[in-house]
């Protein structure tokens, strides 16, 4: 069988997001059934997702480079990932969330079987992409990958095939083995979830079974596809020895924890929603996202934000709806702006290369607005001068404006320079509601400008020139009854921002 598709990396990203989406929908469904607030569940899932994707990266990176990752403003390129690291870090996020929000044991049970199933879904993307590939095989279900794939390059660099070979040697479809095995593992955990007496037992069982399965799979996985440096001890990979030792320790811990510990170390408190916990959680999570944003790819960050942004919006709705928070609405709402600001800073281009392009903008605006002003309704004067008795009029302004813009943009990472010009033109029709007097004004203008935007601040300047009209308001006193005098006409406006 030949595995050859256009843009295989796209399928890897697709199944990566689908894996998190499956876990998200599964946990969300079970949580709503048990009456948990959606924002708390979304925050829990956001933290688990973030720690999972960070864990898949950090365990493959030398420890001495971690400080550079935390404090560097550069976009860092680390392509390796480890499902084991993601599983361990995700478990930490789950336990922290469970302790803070007080979710019941059922949430732990759902996570125990949903995560292996999610990993199984992700492995389909690995199969199409050709990463995590197996050793050469002559089995009838073995697969080949085309030139340009990781498999083909690895076998060519090992002098197993010639560079001009169209396809690689046949290899074990290890990724599909993992998919079937992980789906079976998830089913076993789901079937036995009610057998265990302690809260953490299903998760410990899930980890033990996953590690044993991973230990066996490594026998037929090609060492060249490993994210770690491979050495052999008694004919077994160093990674396998580590996995074997961890699985034995966890199996022993599960046995003691389930049968001999009288106290459940992972206690389940009564679920009690508090806004204070949500706000603190949002701030901490926003900080973590910002710290690790340079390490993660766009689709990894997307996997976090598709849960985090709804949690923020629902929390904001809760604040605006509850009467007891009326005094603090502005302050609390301002707190929720912080993660949205972080989102704007993290969802950036995947490349730091300089990009130059021309941009054309077309737009329009249609609508109406009202204003009120004072004017002198008298047309005659006396020896003492003009009358000082003023009247009020309400004005209805109906406008239709069109615009066209052209700009030259230079963008590198978080920095952007834009030099451009905007043209606009249209009509404003003003009707005095009391006097029923109408006036139409044609407005037009040209607006050259320059803008510079950095990661945190931006500056710019420009001006507008043309037939520019401003409506007067109640603070302006009009010494005439003529409607045409109820507007301010200008030919030049400077602008700074």
Domain check: are 296 and 362 in the same one?
no
Task: For residue 222, name the pLDDT band (cuts at 50, 70, 90).
Answer: confident
pLDDT higher than 80, residue 112:
yes
Domain boundary among 291, 317, 346: 346
Question: In this predicted structure, which of 97-101, 113-117, 330-334 has the lowest mean pLDDT?
Answer: 330-334
Domain check: are 406 and 434 in the same one?
yes
The pLDDT > 70 percentage for the chain reads 80
What average pLDDT score do residues 398-424 get? 85
pLDDT higher than 60, residue 274:
yes
Instruction: Looking at mean pLDDT, say which of 62-76, 163-177, 260-274 comes out highest.
Output: 163-177
Domain boundary among 309, 329, 346: 346
pLDDT higher than 60, residue 403:
yes
Residue 123 belongs to some domain of the structure: yes
Domain check: are 371 and 301 in the same one?
no
Task: For residue 124, name the pLDDT band (cuts at 50, 70, 90).
Answer: very high
Distance CA 294, CA 287 (A): 13
Residue 446 belongs to some domain of the structure: yes
Q: What is the mean pLDDT of the chain?
A: 79
Distance CA 126, CA 49 (A): 19
Cα–Cα separations (whole angstroms), residue 47 to 32, 103, 242, 245: 18, 15, 27, 28
pLDDT higher than 90, residue 299:
no
Q: Which two tokens stand for residue 210?
A: 């996953």
Q: Would you say 397 and 471 are in contact if contact means Cβ atoms under 8 Å apart?
A: yes
Residue 303 belongs to some domain of the structure: yes
Count: domains in the chain: 2
Say what the pLDDT of residue 184 is. 95
Domain check: are 209 and 190 in the same one?
yes
Say what the pLDDT of residue 407 is. 87
Domain check: are 388 and 248 in the same one?
no
Distance CA 380, CA 377 (A): 9
pLDDT tens for 438-470 read 888 888 888 888 998 887 788 988 888 888 776
Q: Which two tokens stand for residue 431?
A: 């009707």
Instruction: Looking at mean pLDDT, say which of 141-145, 197-201, 297-301, 369-373 comes out highest.
Output: 141-145
Q: What is the chain's Cα-based Rg?
A: 32
Instruction: Looking at mean pLDDT, say which of 93-102, 177-186, 279-288, 442-451 comes out highest.
Output: 177-186
pLDDT tens for 320-330 read 777 666 677 67
Say what the pLDDT of residue 474 is. 47
Domain check: are 168 and 114 in the same one?
yes
Q: pTM of the entire structure?
A: 0.61
Q: Would you say 373 and 390 are in contact if contact means Cβ atoms under 8 Å apart?
A: no
Domain boundary among 346, 377, 407: 346
> Which residue blocks in 270-328 are alpha helix, DSSP H?
275-292, 298-321
Residue 370 belongs to some domain of the structure: yes
Domain check: are 61 and 96 in the same one?
yes
Domain check: are 186 and 210 in the same one?
yes
Residue 47 belongs to some domain of the structure: yes
Task: For residue 148, name the pLDDT band (cuts at 50, 70, 90).
Answer: confident
- Burial label for 292, CB within 10 Å (0-12, 13-18, 19+), is buried
Say what the pLDDT of residue 27 is. 85
Task: For residue 69, name the pLDDT band (cuts at 50, 70, 90).
Answer: low
pLDDT higher than 80, residue 236:
yes
Say what the pLDDT of residue 152 is. 83
Residue 3 belongs to some domain of the structure: no
161: phi then psi, degrees, rounded to nearest 5: -140, 165
Say what the pLDDT of residue 265 is. 54
What average pLDDT score do residues 37-51 get? 84
Nearest CA to 103 among 182, 185, 48? 48
Domain check: are 156 and 212 in the same one?
yes
Residue 2 belongs to some domain of the structure: no
Domain check: are 123 and 218 in the same one?
yes
| Domain that residue 381 falls in | 355-496
3: phi then psi, degrees, rounded to nearest 5: -105, 95
| Secondary structure (H, E, C), 38-62 | HHHHHHHHHHHHHHHHHHHHHCCCC
Handedness of CA 133, 138, 141, 146 (dihedral sign): positive
Residue 117 belongs to some domain of the structure: yes
Nearest CA to 372 among 396, 399, 390? 396
pLDDT higher than 90, residue 193:
no
Domain check: are 365 and 263 in the same one?
no
pLDDT tens for 351-391 read 556 778 778 888 888 888 777 766 666 555 555 555 456 66
Domain check: are 408 and 342 in the same one?
no
pLDDT higher than 80, residue 144:
yes
Handedness of CA 220, 224, 227, 233 (dihedral sign): positive
């Amino acid at each position: 069988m030949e595995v050859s598709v256009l843009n295989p990396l796209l399928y890897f990203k697709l199944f990566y997001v689908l894996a998190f989406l499956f876990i998200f929908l599964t946990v969300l469904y079970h949580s709503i059934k048990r009456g948990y607030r959606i924002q708390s569940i979304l925050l829990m899932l956001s933290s688990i997702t973030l720690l999972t994707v960070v864990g898949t990266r950090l365990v493959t990176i030398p420890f001495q480079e971690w400080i550079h990752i935390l404090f560097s403003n550069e976009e860092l390129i680390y392509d390796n990932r480890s499902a084991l690291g993601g599983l361990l870090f995700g478990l930490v996020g789950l336990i922290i969330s469970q302790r803070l929000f007080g979710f019941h044991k059922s949430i732990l049970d759902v996570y125990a079987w949903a995560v292996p199933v999610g990993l199984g879904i992700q492995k389909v993307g690995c199969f199409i992409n050709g990463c995590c590939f197996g050793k050469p095989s002559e089995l009838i279900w073995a697969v080949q990958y085309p030139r340009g794939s990781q498999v083909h390059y690895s076998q060519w660099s090992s002098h197993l095939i010639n560079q001009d070979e169209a396809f690689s040697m046949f290899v074990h479809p290890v990724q599909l083995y993992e998919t079937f095995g992980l789906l079976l593992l998830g089913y076993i955990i789901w079937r036995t979830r009610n057998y265990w007496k302690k809260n953490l037992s299903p998760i410990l069982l899930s980890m033990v079974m996953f590690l044993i399965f991973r230990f066996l799979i490594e026998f037929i996985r090609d060492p060249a596809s490993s994210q770690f440096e491979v050495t052999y001890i008694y004919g077994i990979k160093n990674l396998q020895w580590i996995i074997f030792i961890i699985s034995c320790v966890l199996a022993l811990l599960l046995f003691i924890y389930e049968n001999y510990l009288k106290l459940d170390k992972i206690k389940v408190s009564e679920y009690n929603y508090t806004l204070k916990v949500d706000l603190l959680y949002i701030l901490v999570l926003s900080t973590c996202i910002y710290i690790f944003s340079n390490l993660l790819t766009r689709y990894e960050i997307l996997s976090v934000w598709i849960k985090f942004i709804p949690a923020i919006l629902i929390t904001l709705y809760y604040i605006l709806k509850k009467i007891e928070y009326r005094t603090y609405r502005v302050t609390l709402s301002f707190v929720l702006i912080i993660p949205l600001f972080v989102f704007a800073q993290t969802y950036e281009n995947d490349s730091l290369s300089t990009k130059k392009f021309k941009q054309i903008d077309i737009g329009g605006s249609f609508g109406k607005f009202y204003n009120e002003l004072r004017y002198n309704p008298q047309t005659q004067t006396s020896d003492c001068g003009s009358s000082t008795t003023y009247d009020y009029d309400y004005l209805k302004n109906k406008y239709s404006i069109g615009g066209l813009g052209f700009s030259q943009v230079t963008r590198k990472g978080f920095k952007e320079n834009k030099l451009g010009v905007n043209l606009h033109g249209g009509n404003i029709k003003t009707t005095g509601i009391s006097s029923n007097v109408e006036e139409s004004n044609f407005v037009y203008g040209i607006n050259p400008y320059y803008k510079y935007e950095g990661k945190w601040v931006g500056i710019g300047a420009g001006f507008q020139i043309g037939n520019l009209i401003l409506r007067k308001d109640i603070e302006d006193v009009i010494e005439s009854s003529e409607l045409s005098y109820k507007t301010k006409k200008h030919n030049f406006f400077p602008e700074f921002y």
